[in-house]
Structure 1
Amino acid sequence: MKRLYLLFMLIFLMLIAVGCNGNADPSSSETDSDTTKVTFSYWGGDFDKKRMEAINEEFKKVHPEIEVELVNLPDGEEYSQKQTVMMSAKTPYDVIQFAEESYQFASRGVLEDLTPYIEEDGLDLDQFYPVAIDAYTHDGKVYGLPLRVGSVIMLYNKDLFDQHDLEYPNENWTWDDVVKAGEKIANPEEGIFGMNPIGGWWASTSQTLQSFGGGVLNEEKDAFHLDSPESRKAIEFMKEVTWDKDIAPSSTQIPEGIDLWTSGKIAMMIDGPWHILSSQANIKEFDWDMTTAPAGSQDATPIFSNAFHMAKDSKVKDAAWEVIKFWTGEEAQKILAQEHGDTPTNKEIAESDLYLDLGGKAPENFEMMLTSLEGAYPPQVTSEWGEINRIVQEGMSKMVDLDQPIEEVMPGVKSEVEALLQKLKD
């Protein structure tokens, strides 16, 4: 009860702050008689800011009648809280970037269904990778359009493989292959590991669980599945490579402020495609390449992306739609493609040389970015995504990173998740 009271007080104080600070109010207004302002909130680092500003410059040439105010916000829980507060005050950002939280907000009725806009303009959704659209289609309605998409991939340090006369990983590798190579390469006493920690965030957890035939929830997303035999096997594997085989480091083995991958201390990095841009910028001392994520009993890789949504209470919906349409259209996709990082959701642009030709830079097997999307699946989102994800990841950290027994941790995780699932059914 005390936590609930404090939460209400926090929201109340934030609403007061919004009301008192004119600069914090993102509600749209006419900047002059001929120009409509559209506020656009997103998160991201320097690459994202540069891309968003570049797209905005192109947008101005086509739509001089619309002024887009880009608002970069901190990501994570703080981002979602900011959106909740603004929506509660009926002063939302007009266009909002969401990722896995899309369904959460759509289920609250605070996002506009984009389906009528898509149909009226005859926008062909077949130009996009289906899985990217599916991720933001809830109950048969499209709530967000994505600019980019990615999945779990594997980067590898060619020098470490060469030092041990090992073949490089490829798209046919399984977890068994990863373990065999990792055991030969790993030397924890010298700070060298065969692979990065796995299971530390939802996509890594999902990829490993699904590759063993498991998952956090069942296919219908209405029952707890983390304690299934398949999921348990995956968790035991994560514990084994961390503690028994010493292939992957625990958090205590990672020096503070050190990136084990870019410093050449990890043979295989199984994670997201953002590592490609940082690797190109920061790796100078060794050669590296990439392939798809390893399989277990089956191939499995979740997508992670983000999409642009329209607030239900936006006062400039027609202009907001023009923004969303342009930000996911051909010009914006080409700007993204030239970064050679995340994959453009437009299939034709993604499969063109504009995206795939790196001009001789690593990784040589960059086309694996497209291969990794074959059979990729959207995350298991529900309206309680944030809370379920928090509970599961806290449990995974205890079981894998802290090596606490599965039998001691799992019952508590199951009880909390099942309570949330029951809440969805009531």
Structure 2
Amino acid sequence: MKKGITIICLMMLIPVLGVMAGGSSEDTGGEEPVTVTYLTWDSGPGVEITKPIIAAFEAENPGIIVEFQSVPQGYDDKVLTAHAAGDTPDGLLMWNTSQWAEAGIVQDLSPFIARDNFDMDQYLPVPKMWAEYKGGIYGLPKDFTPRAMFYNKNVFDEAGVPYPEAGWTFDEFVTTAKAINNNKTGADARYGYVAIPGHTYALQAFIWSNGGDLSSPDGTTASGYVNSHAVVEVIQWYKELFDMSISTGTMDAYQNLGQNEFQSGIVGLMDNGLWPVSVYKDDTSLNFGIVAPPVPQAGGSISPVIHSATWSMFAKAKHKDEVWEFIKYIGGPAGGRVFAEKRWGLPVFKGMADELGLMDDEYMKVFAEIGDEATKAPVFLRSPKWFEADTEFKLALERIFLEDADIQGALDEAAVKMDAILQSK
């Protein structure tokens, strides 16, 4: 009997104990926190950088939990598959705005930006271009890097070649590369440069600097651009570099754009973004410098290409208001400052590079100064059909570099095929 009374009393106490211990239900208004899922291609250090940003955001927004999903391999396939299945995460890192905006994969953030009176003028112009497509805004800029020329001081010293300086010309670049080449083979070989056939992204900066372009501003026409005199001149110059570069000696450079060969001293010059800087700085045996890319003629100016990405929202996101709050935070000054302090990339905010003292860093300073010269976004952002059209340009370049095809003729043929693709419905 006593046992039965005891059980009844305990059952009566359970609701009371629940109220006493359930302060959290009062703190959240009785609502469960919303979990926002965010897709990223970053892994390792790239994900680690986001952890304090997420923690700070969650502290300020106790009703939202952020869960990062890292997909370092097959990222684009993951995005496309999730969209096709209608079951997407809430947010994603994005790089190819024109394709994914045109396909309806990503959400136009303009209504959210207008509703919250979010300041888009705080961003530098070219990184902001990455988010824009046909009048819509499909993300907030993350960070960016232009491309610069790395030079291995050990290799230069061994060859007795002076270090390059800003303002050097295309011809001086070739002369420098030739001076470094020792015309040997095997383990004793030294090459001036890594030239990659079909590397459109790197070539477009040289083409812009020479007054050319690869398509019309609206991305619908290649003829008159990709086969222009300005482009032919750049390809002729690059062909001379290619014929004496490491690309004729080893295919490994194709896979890493020469990063390993540069670090090991096989190559004296390498064109790249700022990603290898932290690794190279940790290598005590490597003495390297960074300089702006060459200009076509003395007194000319560079027109650099940049790499960037955006913090974006899936069009089929389940928690749009909540993921927008996170995008505003990580894509705003609070998040951008963390990435910049870690030297992960250049900040996309006006004045932040100076504010954080990045101009006092010998390497970041060069990249920042190159970035200041950028006025154009990459060609692929102009049209969702660019990558298909670019296949024809790459095939023409491979014929030129590998088979010694006539440059003008190969580019004329490519232009016709590219027009058909860019203008197709």
Q: Which moved more, 1:169-178 or 1:402-411?
A: 402-411
Cα gap change, 1:274 to 1:390, in 2 (>3 Å): farther
Say yes or no: does 1:374 pair with 2:377.
no
Distance 2:390 2:92 in 1: 21
Contact 1:222/1:421, CA 8 A, preserved across alignment: yes
1:216-231 mapped onto 2 (5 Å cutoff): 216-224=214-222, 225-231=225-231
Cα gap change, 1:389 to 1:74, in 2 (>3 Å): farther
Cα gap change, 1:116 to 1:130, in 2 (>3 Å): same
Distance 1:50 1:182 in 2: 39
Cα gap change, 1:251 to 1:67, in 2 (>3 Å): farther
Say yes or no: does 1:295 pair with 2:291.
no
Q: 1:184 aligns with which of 179, 184, 189?
A: 179
SS at match of 1:59: helix
Superposed CA offset, 1:166-220 (max 9, x none): 4322221222221122221122413211122245533212122222222321333
Say yes or no: does 1:172 pair with 2:188.
no
Cα gap change, 1:391 to 1:275, in 2 (>3 Å): farther
Say yes or no: does 1:286 pair with 2:286.
yes
- Aligned counterpart, 1:330: 333
- Aligned counterpart, 2:318: 315
Contact 2:359/2:368, CA 8 A, preserved across alignment: no
Distance 1:250 1:73 in 2: 30
SS at match of 1:234: helix
Distance 1:68 1:402 in 2: 52
Q: 1:193 aligns with which of 165, 183, 191?
A: 191
Q: Residue type of the partner of 1:64? A: P
Superposed CA offset, 1:318-372 (max 9, x none): 10101111111223222212222410112332223454455xxxxx343111111
Shift of 1:412: 5.1
SS at match of 1:69: strand
Shift of 1:114: 1.2
Contact 1:153/1:372, CA 8 A, preserved across alignment: yes
- Aligned counterpart, 1:400: 401
TM-score (norm 1): 0.82
Q: Which ranges of 4 or more aligned residues in structure 1 deviate by more than 4 Å? A: 254-258, 401-405
1:202-221 mapped onto 2 (5 Å cutoff): 202-221=200-219
Distance 1:412 1:403 in 2: 15
Shift of 1:401: 5.0
Distance 1:379 1:143 in 2: 16
Q: Residue type of the partner of 1:378? A: A
Contact 1:94/1:317, CA 8 A, preserved across alignment: yes
Say yes or no: does 1:344 pair with 2:347.
yes
Q: Which moved more, 1:152-161 or 1:255-264?
A: 255-264
Q: Residue type of the partner of 1:136? A: A
CA RMSD of aligned residues (A): 2.4
- Aligned counterpart, 1:250: 247
1:98-137 mapped onto 2 (5 Å cutoff): 98-99=94-95, 101-137=96-132
- Aligned counterpart, 1:47: 45
Shift of 1:421: 1.4
Q: Which moved more, 1:108-117 or 1:230-239?
A: 108-117
Superposed CA offset, 1:282-341 (max 9, x none): x33231111222222552211110101112221211101011111112232222122224
Superposed CA offset, 1:133-182 (max 9, x none): 12221122211111101111111112233334443222212222211222
1:84-95 mapped onto 2 (5 Å cutoff): 84-95=80-91
Shift of 1:408: 6.7
Shift of 1:393: 2.9
Q: Which moved more, 1:404-413 or 1:42-51?
A: 404-413
| Structure 1 portions without partners, runs of 5+ | 1-31, 359-363
Identity of aligned residues (%): 23
Rg larger in structure: 2
| Structure 2 portions without partners, runs of 5+ | 1-29
Say yes or no: does 1:59 pair with 2:62.
no
Distance 2:339 2:59 in 1: 18
Q: Residue type of the partner of 1:390? A: T
- Aligned counterpart, 2:15: none
- Aligned counterpart, 1:388: 389
Q: Residue type of the partner of 1:250? A: S
